[in-house]
Amino acid sequence: MELVLSEYHQHRQEEFRCFADSELDQDHQFPHQNLIKAGNRGYMGLPIPKEWGGAGDDFLTYILMLEEVSKVCASTGVILSVHTSVGTFPLLYYGSEEQKKRFLPNLSSGKLLGAFALTETGAGSDAAALVTTATAVDGGYVLNGSKLFITGGGEADLFTVFATVDRSMGRTGITAFLVEKDRPGLTAGPPEKKMGLNRSHTAEIRMEDLFIPVSNRLGEEKAGFMIAMSLLDGGRIGIAAQGLGLARAALEFTINHLKQQEHAGVNTDQSSAFIIADLAAKTAAVRLLIYRAAMAKGSGKRCTKEAAMAKFMATDLAMEAATKCLDLCQSAGCGVDNPLTRYFCDAKAPQIYEGSNQIQRIVVARELLSQKNLSQL
């Protein structure tokens, strides 16, 4: 597999880098303007086919965009990732023609923001344990329950919600639904107070006797768990790109800081040089891992192992880079207005969401133990 970026991908990467550096703001509010700018450039529907209003680009191009955006604003990066990978792809892969016509063009343009509502109090890593119910009634279903830690919870326009039509059936009773934000019975709680990624509002959504017509069911009844699991590989590669962007941002800031120190007559000691070299090497290795996973995903190959590896390696690296770079910059890195402080706080959550990194390691080990041919190990 070719791992050197083509001339086209290099050109797009530079385009995304210039966009992120020159047009993204970094204030403390939900990044409405960043999303409008991204939508105007076609980035909200980058890998969505042109027939549905998207840009028709490949998956690697989309990952390059997430990496560059996350380097400047990781909150905007995760919003874009969730909007596309689990907010829009469910419709693209499983929606009816009528559903696609109704929602996809507006999701692709950024007129609508998509969200994914799976997690519950007792159903995080074990998604099959969800208890939100969908009771069949004349013409549709009535949903009751709540979802936690929903990215864009108070801001999204369309939620892919998972509920069970029969709790006794476990995962085989789970069904997916498309829920518009203005449906009576749907309410969103206030944004969670988090240590980082605070521009990306994370909130609880509650459903109380919320009627959903059959036309808003996504896929077949009881196919929800399969739908949710099928989206994970793409989502994990997107969060890996976010982690890579954060690691690069921390490393770049620190190298520039050390250069300024040397100009001021303070030489970089050998231990600091070793840390910088190790982080740079790990960043280069993780980049290749992510791009390989993205290329496999884009070509339609099964990439569960590669996606899980990319996710835990990249997000662990983001936390390591932010921590070690703070140590290297010492007191200069700890001010609340210093970007290293933001990188450090932003880097923790990506290790947890889209499947915790402990779960990712279980996935990788399970994949390896089931393989008969380990020549590609």
Same domain, residue pair 214 and 258 = no
**Is the residue at 375 inside a domain?**
no
- Report the distance separating Cα 314 and Cα 309, nearest Å: 8
Output the pLDDT for position 128. Answer: 83
The runs of H, that is alpha helices, within 73-214 are 74-85, 89-94, 97-109
pLDDT recorded at residue 269:
84
- Contact assessment for residue 196 and residue 349, using Cβ atoms and an 8 Å cutoff: yes
**CATH number, position 146:** 2.40.110.10
Distance CA 147, CA 131 (A): 10
Residue of 43 and 334 predicted with greater confidence: 43
Domain shared by 131 and 243, yes or no: no
Q: What is the pLDDT of residues 171-189, one digit of tens each?
A: 999 999 999 999 999 999 9
The string of pLDDT tens digits covering residues 223-281 is 999 999 999 999 999 999 999 999 999 999 999 998 988 777 767 788 899 999 999 99
CATH number for 315: 1.20.140.10
Tens digit of pLDDT for each residue in 212-226? 999 999 999 999 999
pLDDT at 371 over 90: no
Q: Alpha helices of the chain — where are they, by DSSP H?
A: 7-23, 32-40, 59-72, 74-85, 89-94, 97-109, 224-230, 232-263, 270-298, 304-329, 339-348, 357-370
Buried/exposed 259-283: b ≥16 CB within 10 Å, e otherwise = eebeeeeeeeeeebeebbeebeebb
| 114-117 vs 158-164, strand pairing mode | parallel
Q: Do 100 and 118 have their domain in common?
A: no
In a domain, 376, yes or no: no
Find the catalytic residue in 68, 204, 306, 354.
354
From 87, 109, 131, give the residue that closes a domain. Answer: 109
The answer to whether residue 1 is domain-embedded is no
For residue 36, give the CATH number of its domain.
Answer: 1.10.540.10
Q: Give the domain range for residue 124.
A: 114-222
Q: Are residues 202 and 247 in the same domain?
A: no
Burial of 322 (0-12, 13-18, 19+ CB in 10 A): buried
In whole angstroms, give the CA distance from residue 89 to residue 66: 16
Tell me how many degrees the CA angle 100-178-67 measures, rounded to the nearest 5.
75
pLDDT number for residue 4: 73
Mean pLDDT of 303-314: 97
Task: Find out whether 88 and 48 touch, Cβ atoms under 8 Å.
Answer: yes
The answer to whether 120 is a known catalytic residue is: no
> In this predicted model, which residue has the larger pLDDT, 258 or 336?
258
Token pair, residue 90, equals 């469910």
- When the pLDDT of each residue in the chain is averaged and rounded to a whole number, the result is 94
Q: What is the pLDDT of residue 3?
A: 63
Query: Is 80 within 8 Å of 88 (Cβ atoms)?
Result: no
Distance of alpha carbon 303 from alpha carbon 360, whole angstroms: 13
Other CB atoms within 10 Å distance of the CB of residue 144 = 16
- Asked if residues 317 and 282 have their Cβ atoms less than 8 Å apart, the reply is yes
Q: Is residue 38 part of a domain?
A: yes
Instruction: Answer yes or no: do 355 and 253 share one domain.
Output: yes
pLDDT surpassing 80 at residue 375: no
- Whole-angstrom distance, CA of residue 302 vs CA of residue 279: 30
Closest CA to 342 of 148, 149, 194, 155: 194
Q: Is it the case that residue 1 has pLDDT exceeding 60?
A: no
Q: What's the whole-model pTM score?
A: 0.94
Q: Is residue 80 part of a domain?
A: yes
Would you say residue 132 lies in a domain?
Answer: yes
Residue for token pair 């969908």: 134
Condensed to tens digits (0 to 9), the pLDDT of residues 42-74 reads: 999 999 999 999 999 999 999 999 999 999 999
Residue 65 and residue 91 in one domain: yes
Is pLDDT of 131 > 90?
Answer: yes
Residues 180 and 241 in one domain: no
Q: Which of residues 94, 109, 124 is at a domain's end? A: 109
Q: Domain count of the chain?
A: 3
Last residue of a domain, one of 109, 139, 173: 109
Lookup result for tokens 């209003």:
53
Q: 171 and 285 share a domain?
A: no
- Note whether 78 and 94 are same-domain residues: yes
Same-domain check for residues 166 and 262: no
SS (H, E, C) 167-197: HHHHHHHEEEEEEECCCCCEEECCCCCCCCC
Query: What are the pLDDT digits (tens) for 103-130?
Result: 999 999 999 999 999 999 888 778 888 9
pLDDT of residue 373: 77
The C-alpha atoms of residue 118 and residue 146 are separated, in whole angstroms, by 9
